[in-house]
Amino acid sequence: MKLYIETVGCQMNVLDSELVVGSLRRQGYELTYEAEAADVILFNTCSVRQHAEDKIYSALGRLRQHKRQNPSKIIGVLGCMAQKDQELIRRRAPHVDIVCGTGQLARLAELIGQVRDTGRPQVALSLDRTESRHEVERSFESYDPLRDPSMRPDPFQAYVRIMIGCDKFCTYCIVPSVRGPEQSRHPEQIAAEVRQLAAEGCKEIMLLGQTVNSYKYDLGDGRRVRLSDLLEKIHATPGIERIKFVTNFPKDMTDDLLQAVRDLPKVCRYLHVPVQSGCDDVLTRMKRLYTVAFYRDMLDRCRETVPGVAISSDFIVGFSGETEASFAKSCDLVREAGFKNSFIFKYSPRPGTRGYELYADDVPEEVKKRRNNDLLAIQTKVSLADHRRLIGERVEVLVEGPSKNALKHGSSGPGQLTGRTRTDHIVVFDGNSRLVGQTVMIDIHEASPFTLYGSVVTGEQVGVDHCEMAEEREPELSAGPRRIGLPLV
């Protein structure tokens, strides 16, 4: 049996897909990269912006004829869109056999079997958030089956989910509805997963949560485990060299967490802390629960406590009621905050959110586009200036693979490689592909807004004690394809 899976959205989706593929492979499925060659065709979906949903409906539309000619093939829609829009999916794509929400992925294999046995479509969804909290929580299950190193793009890097859901209810955001209530995983379970990954040769762990720094687990004896405690626990795992965590909520950036980032050498000095807007009125309408002054203080606190920390952010432009004056405040913030990079999104109204009910989508599309470009241009300048400051520095890089350029030209053997520093900066350099998965020291010679360029320092031993703490920057990539190292929805 052949399996095809297409994934859109954040790292949480990338991880879910990895786990789905791993568990179906254990049942004998083989992965194919061609939808029409597969017996089971899955789409792991995202609902954060309309554009992501449109892409899935187009892909489903393209398969309509194929399904008609091959009725035994099974088509499944998984994840956020499935949880949000089961009726709409059935209307717009009646050839879909399985609709399976984010909290029900453990049932996927069973659903495939039921479609086969009965020939009837199957639906597995969690409760919506109007029911009692306890019931809703139980209906959203964290999906964390055994890991399979062969499923990861890089065996030396892995995502680890430490919590699911979100309770912040920012007014523009669909995540609390489609991913359910915030629930942290037991620290022992997380630590065991990290140990397993380390035993499989994994060096870099990225801890995932929608608001990862809100992580808390009550052990039941009066003791509460915070993210800082969890970092300390994971830090002790032999073999793990780097620990990152995304995405942070500004109000939960506590001192104990910053001190842990400062004191634990394996924890990367990189924080993704989305601000969303530089204007208090907009932040109030977004219900972000902080002011711009609070956010600026938080940035100062991060930099005072963790010297050399790199900070990145997300912005939404064109949110309801965003005037030119409010947008100008976002521009000021980007000019002054020194973000390593910012991901900038045009506001996309989401039915089912408070923002959709309360406020009109009153900023025209061309204005959103212009503001997006303008903010990006400012961030690119900031990033380039800061990148240039790194010329002449020596940085520690975990080599991830061939550079985009090398991939395009299909060269093998010695060629251009890419990797990241401990502050999550992308570095491109010449080297042998045997270096992939290794940590090397690189002298930086050149900088563009998006990339640092350098050369390998030969004969230098790299260990976790050798932390690169130079202050570095990397510019905005906008909403491009997301891989490890980029922020989470």
Contact residues toward ligand SF4 (CB under 6 A) are 166, 168-170, 173, 175-176, 210-211, 249
CA distance 463 to 8: 35
> Could you tell me the two tokens for 483?
């891989």
Residue with the two structure tokens 């079997």: 113
Instruction: Compare residues 115 and 246 and give the one whose CB is closer to ligand SF4.
Output: 246
Instruction: Give the x-and-dash track for 33-62 against ligand 5AD (CB under 6 A).
Output: ---------------xx-------------
Q: Is 213 in the site for ligand 5AD (CB under 6 A)?
A: no
Pairing mode, if any, of strands 415-420 and 394-402? antiparallel
Shortest distance, position 488 Cβ to ligand 5AD, whole Å = 7
Which residue's CB is nearer to ligand SF4, number 190 or number 316? 316
By beta-carbon proximity to ligand SF4, the closer residue of 157 and 277 is 277
Of 124 and 488, CB closest to ligand 5AD: 488
Q: Are 54 and 43 in contact (CB under 8 A)?
A: no
165 binds, among ligand SF4, ligand 5AD, none (CB under 5 to 8 A by kind): none
Distance in angstroms (rounded) separating the CA atoms of residues 77 and 16 = 13
Could you tell me the smallest distance in angstroms from the CB atom of residue 213 to ligand SF4? 11
Whose CA is closest to 99, among 73, 118, 69, 125?
Answer: 125
164-183 residues in contact with ligand 5AD (CB under 6 A) are: 172-173
DSSP state of 390: T
At 269 the three-state DSSP class reads: coil
State the nearest-atom distance from the C-beta of 486 to ligand 5AD, in Å: 10
Amino acid identity for residue 129 in this structure: R
Q: Does residue number 316 form part of the binding site for ligand 5AD (CB under 6 A)?
A: yes
Total residue length of the chain: 489
Q: How many other C-beta atoms are found inside a 10 Å radius of the C-beta of residue 213?
A: 24
- Write each residue from 430 to 469 as x if it is in contact with ligand 5AD (CB under 6 A), else as -, in one continuous string: ----------------------------------------
CB of 281 to ligand SF4, least distance (A): 18
CA distance 211 to 272: 11
242-246 sheet: strands from edge to edge: 157-161, 204-208, 242-246
* Binding partner of 169, given ligand 5AD, ligand SF4, none, CB within 5-8 angstroms per partner class: ligand SF4
Provide the minimum distance between the beta carbon of 38 and ligand 5AD in the complex, in angstroms, as a whole number: 30
Extract the tokens encoding 353: 């959110």
**Interface of this chain with ligand 5AD, residues 276 to 295, rule: CB under 6 A:** 276
Task: Tell me which DSSP letter residue 236 carries.
Answer: T
- When the beta carbons of 45 and 210 are compared against ligand SF4, the nearer one is 210
Partner that binds at residue 176, options ligand SF4, ligand 5AD, none, CB closer than 5 to 8 Å by kind: ligand SF4
The binder of 347, among ligand 5AD, ligand SF4, none, by C-beta within 5 to 8 A per type, is: ligand 5AD
Other CB atoms within a 10 A radius of the CB of residue 443 amount to 14
Q: Of 425, 277, 437, which is closest to residue 363 (Cα–Cα)?
A: 277
Decide whether 13 or 126 has the Cβ nearer to ligand 5AD. Answer: 13
Query: Within positions 341 to 380, which residues make up the interface with ligand 5AD, using CB under 6 A?
Result: 345, 347-348, 350
**Residue 345 interacts with, from ligand SF4, ligand 5AD, none (CB under 5-8 Å by kind):** ligand 5AD
| Cα 207 from Cα 289, distance rounded (Å) | 24
- Copy the structure tokens of residue 342: 């910012």
Rounded least distance, CB 454 to ligand SF4, Å: 35
Report the nearest approach of ligand 5AD to the CB of residue 177 (Å): 12
Are 425 and 270 in contact by the 8 Å Cβ rule? The answer is: no
DSSP 8-state class, residue 178? H
* Tokens found for residue 169: 């209810």
Distance between start and end Cα atoms, the chain = 33
Residue 126: which of ligand SF4, ligand 5AD, none does it interact with, CB under 5 to 8 A by kind?
none
**What letter represents residue 254's amino acid?**
T
| DSSP-derived secondary structure letter, 185 | P
Nearer to ligand 5AD, 352 or 401 (CB): 352
C-alpha atoms less than 13 angstroms from C-alpha of 176 in its C-beta half-sphere: 17
Applying the rule CB under 6 A, the residues between 260 and 279 that interact with ligand 5AD are 274, 276
Residues that bind ligand 5AD (CB under 6 A): 48-49, 172-173, 274, 276, 314, 316, 345, 347-348, 350, 489
